[in-house]
C-alpha cells in the first residue's frame, strides 16, 4: 500500500461520546470496530453498556423469500409514523468457500432512505450458523446505547433450526408465506416454536387459507400455553415462573396476515408487537428474558475468550502435524484433542 492516507483511528472515548451524541458516522465506525472484534471492542462495549437496555428488540426470522426485508421496511415505516426511531440490523450469509458475502437487504429498503430516524446496518454471518453473526448482539447493544427506540434484527433466511434470534430479541416474529409446506412442516420442532407472533406474509397469494389453518392447528396442538419453558427451554434451560400462573398471564401466540409490499396489516402488527412488549413488562417475563439474554451474552464472551486462549496456546503448524499423525492412524482425534487441551 504505497503512500495512501491511513484513516485516522479515533480513541474509544471519542467514539463513545459520538455514539451517545447520535453522530451517525461515529456510530457506524463504532459498529465496525465491534463487528471486527478489534482490540478495543471490549473497552468500547464496556463504556456503552450502561447506556443500553432501553430499546425494545424485535427479531424477524423465516425462510428465504418470505418477504422479511420488505416486512422489516414496512414495520420501520410504521414505527416512524408513530414517532419512534428505528435501528435495523440485517444479516445475510457469508460464503463458507470464499469468506465473501453479498448483502442484499438494502435493495428492499429504499423507502427508508433519507430518514435520519432510521439506521440500517448489513452484517454477514462470518461463519456463524444460528441465523445471526457472532457479534450481532454486541452491535444491537451499540444501537441501543445510541438511543434508538426500537431495534429490528433480521436474520438470514433460515431453515428449520436456526433459533438463536430468540435469545437476542425481546419479541420474535416468524415470517411464513403461503404454499411453503403442509401441516407436517408446521408441527416440526424448531423455528416455529420460537415465535411470539407468527406472520403469514404475502397473504394475497394462493394457498393462504391452508397455511393459516396449518399454523393455527399447530398452535392448538401446542395448547398455546406454558410455551415459554418449551420454546426457550431447550435453548437456555431456565425455569419459567409463569408456567404455574393462571391462564391470563400467558402470552397467546397469534397468527397474523400481512401483505408487506402493500403495507397491509403492518400497523396491526406493530400494535401486536407493542402489546407483547407490555405483556412482557407486566407479567415479569421481561426480566426473565433479559436474564436469558445476559446469560447468553456472558456465555458467548467466555467461550470466545477460551477459544482465543486455545488458539494462542496451540502452536501454528502443530495441528497439521497432528492431523497427519491421525491420518496415518498413529494417533486418534480424541487423545490428540485431550493432549492439546491439557496444556491450557
Partner 1 sequence: MSERKIRVLVAKPGLDGHDRGAKVVARMLRDAGFEVIYTGIRQTPQMIAEAALQEDVDVVGLSILSGAHMTLCPKVVELLRAQGQDNVLVVVGGIIPDEDVEKLKAAGIDGVFGPGTSSEEYVNFITSHVRVPA
> Which spans of this chain sit near partner 1 (rule: CB under 8 A)?
1, 4-9, 24-25, 28-29, 31-32, 36-39, 94-95, 98-104, 106-107, 110, 113-114, 119-122, 124, 126, 308, 311
Q: How far is the CB of 308 from partner 1 (least distance, A)?
A: 6
Identity of the residue, 26 or 61, whose beta carbon is nearer to partner 1 in the bound complex: 26
Identity of the residue, 92 or 285, whose beta carbon is nearer to partner 1 in the bound complex: 92
56-62 and 197-200: which strand pairing?
A: unpaired
Distance separating alpha carbons of residues 108 and 105, to the nearest angstrom:
6
Identity of the residue, 42 or 238, whose beta carbon is nearer to partner 1 in the bound complex: 42
Q: How far is the CB of 141 from partner 1 (least distance, A)?
A: 17
Q: How far is the CB of 119 from partner 1 (least distance, A)?
A: 6
Q: How far is the CB of 311 from partner 1 (least distance, A)?
A: 7
Question: Cα dihedral sign for 144, 150, 156, 162?
Answer: positive
The upper half-sphere exposure of residue 244, i.e. CA atoms within 13 Å in the direction of its Cβ, equals 3
Cβ–Cβ < 8 Å for 203, 258 = yes
C-alpha cell at 87: 435501528
Q: How far is the CB of 129 from partner 1 (least distance, A)?
A: 16
161: Cβ contacts below 8 Å, ≥ 6 apart: 190, 191
Distance separating alpha carbons of residues 224 and 235, to the nearest angstrom:
19
Q: How far is the CB of 4 from partner 1 (least distance, A)?
A: 5
Identity of the residue, 9 or 188, whose beta carbon is nearer to partner 1 in the bound complex: 9
C-alpha dist (Å) from residue 12 to 16, 20, 101, 274: 6, 12, 28, 35
Identity of the residue, 118 or 266, whose beta carbon is nearer to partner 1 in the bound complex: 118
86-92 and 150-154: which strand pairing?
A: parallel
C-alpha Rg value of the chain to the nearest Å: 22
Q: What are phi and psi of 331, to 5 degrees?
A: -140, 180
Q: How far is the CB of 283 from partner 1 (least distance, A)?
A: 36
Identity of the residue, 283 or 300, whose beta carbon is nearer to partner 1 in the bound complex: 300
Nearest to 48 by CA among 151, 155, 122, 145: 145
Identity of the residue, 88 or 186, whose beta carbon is nearer to partner 1 in the bound complex: 88
Amino acid at each position: 500500500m504505497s503512500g495512501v492516507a491511513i484513516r485516522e483511528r479515533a480513541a474509544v472515548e471519542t467514539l463513545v461520546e459520538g455514539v451517545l451524541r447520535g453522530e451517525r458516522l461515529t456510530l457506524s465506525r463504532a459498529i465496525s470496530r465491534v463487528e471486527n472484534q478489534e482490540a478495543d471492542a471490549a473497552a468500547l462495549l464496556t463504556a456503552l453498556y450502561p447506556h443500553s437496555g432501553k430499546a425494545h428488540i424485535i427479531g424477524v426470522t423465516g425462510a428465504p423469500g418470505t418477504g422479511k426485508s420488505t416486512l422489516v421496511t414496512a414495520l420501520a415505516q410504521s414505527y416512524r409514523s408513530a414517532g419512534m426511531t428505528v435501528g435495523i440490523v440485517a444479516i445475510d450469509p457469508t460464503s463458507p468457500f470464499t469468506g465473501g458475502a453479498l448483502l442484499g437487504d438494502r435493495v428492499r429498503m429504499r423507502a427508508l432512505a433519507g430518514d435520519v430516524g432510521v439506521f440500517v446496518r448489513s452484517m454477514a454471518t462470518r461463519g456463524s450458523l444460528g441465523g445471526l453473526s457472532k457479534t450481532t448482539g454486541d452491535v444491537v447493544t451499540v444501537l441501543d446505547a445510541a438511543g434508538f427506540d426500537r431495534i429490528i434484527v433480521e436474520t438470514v433466511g433460515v431453515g428449520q433450526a436456526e433459533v438463536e434470534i430468540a435469545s437476542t430479541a425481546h419479541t420474535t416474529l416468524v415470517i411464513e408465506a403461503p404454499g411453503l409446506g403442509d401441516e407436517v412442516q408446521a408441527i416440526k420442532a424448531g423455528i416455529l416454536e420460537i415465535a411470539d407472533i407468527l406472520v403469514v406474509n404475502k397473504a394475497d397469494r394462493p394457498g393462504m387459507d391452508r397455511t393459516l389453518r396449518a399454523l393455527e392447528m399447530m398452535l392448538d396442538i401446542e395448547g398455546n400455553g406454558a410455551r415459554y419453558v418449551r420454546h426457550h427451554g431447550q435453548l437456555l434451560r431456565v425455569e419459567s415462573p409463569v408456567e404455574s400462573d393462571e391462564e391470563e398471564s400467558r402470552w397467546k401466540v397469534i397468527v397474523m396476515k400481512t401483505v408487506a409490499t402493500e403495507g397491509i396489516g403492518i400497523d396491526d402488527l406493530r400494535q401486536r408487537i407493542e402489546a407483547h412488549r407490555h405483556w412482557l413488562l407486566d407479567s415479569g417475563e421481561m426480566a426473565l428474558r433479559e436474564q436469558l439474554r445476559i446469560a447468553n451474552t456472558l456465555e458467548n464472551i467466555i467461550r470466545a475468550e477460551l477459544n482465543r486462549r486455545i488458539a494462542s496456546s496451540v502452536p501454528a503448524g502443530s495441528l497439521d502435524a497432528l492431523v497427519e499423525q491421525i491420518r496415518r492412524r498413529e494417533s486418534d482425534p480424541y487423545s490428540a484433542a485431550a493432549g492439546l487441551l491439557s496444556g491450557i
